[in-house]
């Protein structure tokens, strides 16, 4: 891993990026009952950090309550959302935090096996993570009767993805683990009941799992003291684009975009893409919005664009991405994204009519409700938000002969 | 493919699948193994994988064609993947692209005739804070500029 010239730049840290003694969270958790762990998680109000924000305690409770001899816990390390790299930093700098979170999860829901689904692009981490797993096995943190706890058997294996963004969607990820094309399933049934090989399965983001040991150690209520009422605790933000100090920031939920921009040293900022390509583009006039599940939600991706950037170019880059990464299974997403990209190209070439653009906006709304999974449901977001908030730049300057 | 090579490949596939009790969950790791060793997954390998896992060959082909890191056509022994997502794009990806194309006298999307290099674009590599970035085989290079990128590809030429 050392031969790669990757630097994991952490600018601000509070909880996740603090000292953690490997195994401490597991030791504390194994002295508690499963119900108590679920109670602490509920009190912490921890929501899924991948972006969807589903309450972790509810998910684990459903798997714990589901009937089945085999149960699985999956760590979703298919970090493919453009502009997101916090999981890379967590896995490389704090691997035991994530792995301990999986062990605690395995204990809580009654799983015997865990999988880390690592994106193909992160293959350089695999060897290091395997070493970490071996170290845990040597220390009786994995295997049979973990830390002497009678009947608690749990092990973890790493499975590599192969370059498909859609596999970050939990049911597509499960299909991929089963050796299928990574096409999302219909839901319901949900993975908590019918997941990997038909068994109850919880799929959690790397950051969610890394938070769990800290919650066990500090108590759920204490964790929930930070953040906002709807978004408890702190969050890792992957900041990139036009700013002086790109990197990962651990900040409390509820910070405004303005405050964030100041911290990262961004100047002349025109727009901030919150939540990656599938997120929303926030214009300058709305920089007082807060980063929280109840306002501008994000899985961590913050991309900053300054005044020199063409928003149409940004939009085209995103639509290109979605056309390529749509799994092609459902029509609204497969063809819808192609049509939206065509529309963007028409605008670029000044060959559009407003009637057509309005049709495309309606199509975008249709995609949001008719697509099968989160990819097609959210891929129209940048199209809608950029054409709406930057319509002066996109549609008017050209008429004046201006150049974007 | 020579008969001897075929026999070797069959044995490798059988041994690999045995560790998974010939269960279909072996499919992805098995295909990734073949891909990394042979730089593509030939028809013969797909058929053998299907036979060993007791599934239809079309199921195997379906999976191979779905994932961008799996290919049924031969690719270069070295695959250069340059990130084209917006932040690397803003960081100067186009200049790097053009410089590499001039350096190697080939275009992105192509494989060199001597099968040494394939040039490809890829989506976000998760290196946005230190872009522009590219992956050569399994190795990541960050903070590229045209000169640095050309020096890297010259080494594998």
Phi, psi of B135 (to 5 degrees): -115, 125
pLDDT reported for residue A398: 54
* Neighboring chain A residues of B24 at a CB cutoff of 8 Å: 178-179
For position A332, what pLDDT does the model report? Answer: 97
Q: How far is A177 from chain B (nearest CA, A)?
A: 6
Q: Which of B29, B124, B141 sits opposite A159 (nearest CB)?
A: B29
Q: Is the confidence at residue A2, as pLDDT, over 60?
A: no
Query: What's the helix, strand, coil split of chain B in %, to 5?
Result: 55, 10, 35
DSSP string for A36-90: HHHHHHHHHT-B-TTTT--BHHHHHHHHHHS--S--EEEEEE---STT--HHHHH
Q: Choose the final residue of a domain: B37, B66, B95.
A: B66
Task: Spell out the residues 6+ positions from residue B39 whose beta carbon is closer than 8 angstroms to its own.
Answer: B74, B75, B76, B77
Name the domain boundary from B20, B42, B66: B66
Mean pLDDT of chain A: 94
Residue ranges per structural domain of chain A: 10-224, 234-306, 311-399
Q: If you measure CA to CA, which chain B residue comes closest to A160?
A: B29
A173 touches chain B (CB under 8 A): no
Strand partners, A306: A269
* A234: enclosing H helix or E strand: strand A234-241
How confident is the model over A282-316, as pLDDT tens digits?
999 999 999 999 999 999 999 999 999 999 999 99
SS (H, E, C) B28-90: HHHHHHHHHHHCCCCHHHHHHHHHHHCCCHHHHHHHHHHCCCCCCCCCCCEEEEEECCHHHHH
Q: Which residues of B touch A165 (CB under 8 A)?
A: 123
d(CA B142, CA A370): 39
* Cα–Cα distance, A388 to A371 (Å, whole number): 22
Does residue A402 surpass a pLDDT of 80?
no
Are B93 and B152 in the same domain? yes
Nearest to B87 among A6, A303, A321 (CB): A303
Question: Tens of pLDDT along chain B (157 residues)?
Answer: 788 889 999 999 999 999 999 999 999 999 999 999 999 999 999 999 999 999 999 999 999 999 999 999 999 999 999 999 999 999 999 999 999 999 999 999 999 999 999 999 999 999 999 989 999 998 999 999 999 999 999 999 8
Instruction: Judge whether A371 and A330 are in contact, CB under 8 Å.
Output: yes
Residues B83 and B144 in one domain: yes
CATH number of the domain enclosing B106: 3.40.30.10
Distance CA A69, CA B106 (A): 55
The CATH class that applies to domain A234-306 reads alpha beta
**Torsion over CA of A267, A299, A163 and B52, rounded to 10 degrees?**
170
- Tell me which of B66, B96, B113 is where a domain ends: B66
How far apart, in whole angstroms, are the C-alpha atoms of residue B86 and residue A321?
Answer: 10
Predicted confidence (pLDDT) per residue in A248-285, tens digit? 999 999 999 999 999 999 999 999 999 999 999 999 99
In chain B, the number of structural domains is 2
Tell whether B72 is covered by a domain.
no
CA angle at B97 for the pair B91 and B103, rounded to the nearest 5°? 130
Tell me the shortest Cα–Cα distance from A213 to chain B, in angstroms: 25
Name the residue among B86, B141, B143 with its Cβ closest to that of A314. Answer: B86
Residue B120 DSSP SS3? strand
Percentage of chain A lying above the pLDDT 90 cut: 92
Which percentage of chain A shows pLDDT scores above 70? 97
What is the reported pLDDT for B2?
82
First to last CA, chain A: 42
Q: Determine whether the interchain pair B86/A248 forms a contact, defined as Cβ–Cβ distance below 8 Å.
A: no
Burial class (CB in 10 A: 0-12, 13-18, 19+), A234: buried
Q: Across the interface, do B126 and A85 touch by the CB < 8 Å criterion?
A: yes
Nearest-5° angle of CA A153, CA A49, CA A267?
A: 145
- Are both B54 and B109 inside the same structural domain? no
pLDDT of residue A404: 45
Sign of CA dihedral A208, A211, A217, A223: negative
Average pLDDT over residues A33-44: 97
Is residue B100 less than 8 Å (CB to CB) from chain A?
no
Q: pLDDT tens digits, residue range A363-401?
A: 999 999 999 999 999 999 999 999 999 999 999 765 555
Q: Are residues B38 and B98 in the same domain?
A: no
User: Same domain for B33 and B55?
Assistant: yes
Q: Can you tell me the distance from the alpha carbon of A333 to that of A317, in angstroms, rounded to the nearest whole number? A: 17
Q: Are residues B100 and B139 in the same domain?
A: yes
Residues B62 and B83 in one domain: no
Inter-chain contact A82–B138, Cβ cutoff 8 Å?
no
ipTM of the complex: 0.95
B126 close contact with A: CB closer than 8 A: yes
Q: Which listed CATH number (1.20.1440.230, 2.40.128.20, 1.10.287.130, 3.40.50.1370) goes with A311-399?
A: 1.20.1440.230
Tell whether B51 is covered by a domain: yes
Residue B13 sits in the same domain as residue B61: yes
Residues B90 and B149 in one domain: yes
- Nearest chain A residue (CA) to B89: A317
- Residue whose C-alpha is closest to residue A2's, from B140, B11, B134: B140
Q: Does B131 contact chain A (CB < 8 Å)?
A: yes
- Say how far apart CA A117 and CA B28 lie, in whole Å: 11
Q: Which of residues 338 through 397 in chain A touch B, CB cutoff 8 A?
A: none
Q: Is B99 on the interface with A (CB under 8 A)?
A: no
Instruction: Report yes or no on B143 lying in a domain.
Output: yes
DSSP letter, residue A404: -
B chain contacts of residue A82, beta-carbon cutoff 8 Å: 85-87, 123-124, 128
Tell me how far the alpha carbon of residue A43 is from its chain's centroid: 22
Minimum CA–CA partner of A125 in chain B: B138
- Give the per-residue pLDDT at A397: 67
Cα–Cα distance measured from residue B33 to residue B41, given in angstroms and rounded to the nearest whole number? 10
Sheet containing B117-122: order of strands: B117-122, B78-83, B134-136, B139-141
Predicted local distance difference test score (pLDDT) of residue B106: 97
Where in the sequence is the domain holding B31, given as residue range(s)?
A: 3-66
Mean pLDDT of A94-121: 97
Query: Closest-CA residue in chain B for A83?
Result: B128
Within its chain, how far is the Cα of A326 from the centroid?
17
Q: Chain B contacts of A247, Cβ < 8 Å?
A: 129
Residues B14 and B61 in one domain: yes
> Rounded to 5, what percent of chain A is helix, strand, coil?
45, 15, 35
Contact at 8 Å (CB) between B123 and A81? no
Distance from CA of B57 to the nearest CA of A (A): 13
- Examine the pLDDT at A341 and tell me if it is beyond 50: yes
CB atoms within 10 A of CB A145: 12
- Taken as a whole, chain B contains a residue count of 157
Cross-chain residue pair A327–B141, CB shorter than 8 Å: no
Same domain assignment for residues B141 and B87: yes
pLDDT at position A3, please? 57
pLDDT in tens, A136-168: 999 999 999 999 999 999 999 999 999 999 999
Q: What number of other Cβ atoms are within 10 A of residue A252's Cβ?
A: 18
Q: How many CB atoms lie within 10 A of CB B37?
A: 10
Chain A residues with CB under 8 Å of B131 CB are 240
Same domain, B111 and B133: yes
B96 found inside a domain: yes
How far is it, in rounded angstroms, from Cα A86 to Cα A275?
13
CATH code of A10-224, in short, is 3.40.50.11540
Q: Give the pTM.
A: 0.95
Provide the 3-class DSSP secondary structure of residue A229.
coil
Residues 310-339, chain A: which have Cβ within 8 Å of B?
A: 314, 317-318, 321, 324-325, 327
């Amino acid at each position: 891993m050392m031969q790669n010239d990757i630097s994991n730049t952490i600018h601000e840290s509070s909880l996740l990026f603090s000292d953690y003694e490997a195994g401490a969270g597991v030791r504390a958790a194994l002295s508690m009952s499963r119900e108590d762990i679920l109670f602490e998680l509920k009190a912490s109000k921890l929501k899924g950090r991948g972006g969807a924000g589903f309450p972790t305690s509810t998910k684990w409770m459903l798997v714990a309550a589901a009937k089945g001899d085999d149960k699985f816990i999956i760590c979703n390390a298919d970090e493919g959302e453009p502009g997101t790299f916090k999981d890379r930093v967590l896995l490389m700098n704090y691997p035991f935090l994530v792995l301990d979170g999986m062990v605690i999860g395995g204990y809580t829901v009654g799983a015997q096996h865990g999988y880390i689904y690592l994106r193909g692009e992160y293959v350089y981490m695999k060897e290091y993570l395997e070493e970490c797993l071996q170290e845990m096995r040597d220390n009786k943190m994995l295997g049979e009767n973990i830390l002497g706890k009678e009947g608690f058997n749990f092990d973890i294996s790493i499975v590599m993805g192969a370059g498909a963004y859609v596999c970050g969607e939990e049911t597509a990820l499960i299909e991929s683990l089963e050796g299928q094309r990574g096409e999302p399933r219909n839901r319901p049934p949900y993975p908590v009941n019918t997941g990997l090989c038909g068994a109850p399965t919880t799929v959690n983001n790397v950051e969610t799992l890394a938070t769990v040991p800290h919650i066990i150690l500090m108590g759920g209520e204490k964790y929930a003291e930070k953040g906002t009422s709807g978004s408890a605790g702190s969050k890792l933000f992957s900041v990139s684009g036009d700013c002086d100090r790109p990197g990962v920031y651990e900040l409390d939920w509820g910070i405004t975009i303005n405050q964030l921009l100041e911290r990262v040293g961004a100047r002349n900022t025109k727009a901030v893409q919150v939540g990656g390509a599938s997120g929303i583009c926030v214009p300058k006039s709305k920089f007082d919005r807060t980063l929280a599940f109840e306002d501008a939600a994000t899985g961590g991706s913050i991309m900053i664009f300054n005044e020199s950037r063409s928003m149409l170019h940004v939009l085209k880059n995103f639509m290109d991405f979605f056309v390529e990464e749509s799994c092609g299974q459902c029509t609204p997403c497969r063809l819808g994204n192609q049509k939206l990209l065509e529309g963007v190209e028409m605008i670029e070439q000044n060959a559009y009519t407003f009637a057509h653009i309005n049709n495309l906006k309606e199509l975008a709304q249709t995609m949001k409700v008719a697509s099968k999974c989160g990819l097609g449901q959210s891929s129209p977001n940048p199209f809608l938000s950029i054409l709406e908030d930057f319509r002066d730049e996109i549609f008017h300057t050209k008429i004046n002969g201006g150049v974007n | 493919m020579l008969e001897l090579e075929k026999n070797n490949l069959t044995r490798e596939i059988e041994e690999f699948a045995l560790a998974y009790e010939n269960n279909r969950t072996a499919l992805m790791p098995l295909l990734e193994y073949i891909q990394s060793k042979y730089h593509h997954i030939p028809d013969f390998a797909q058929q053998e994988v299907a036979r060993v896992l007791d599934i239809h060959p079309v199921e195997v082909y379906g999976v191979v064609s779905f994932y961008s890191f799996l290919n049924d056509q031969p690719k270069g022994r070295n695959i250069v993947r340059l990130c084209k997502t917006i932040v690397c794009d803003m960081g100067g990806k186009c200049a790097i692209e053009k410089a590499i194309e001039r350096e190697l006298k080939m275009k992105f999307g192509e494989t060199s005739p001597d099968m040494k290099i394939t040039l490809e674009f890829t989506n976000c590599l998760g290196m946005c804070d230190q872009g522009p970035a590219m992956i050569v085989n399994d190795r990541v290079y960050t903070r590229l500029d045209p000169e640095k990128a050309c020096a890297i590809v010259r080494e594998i030429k």
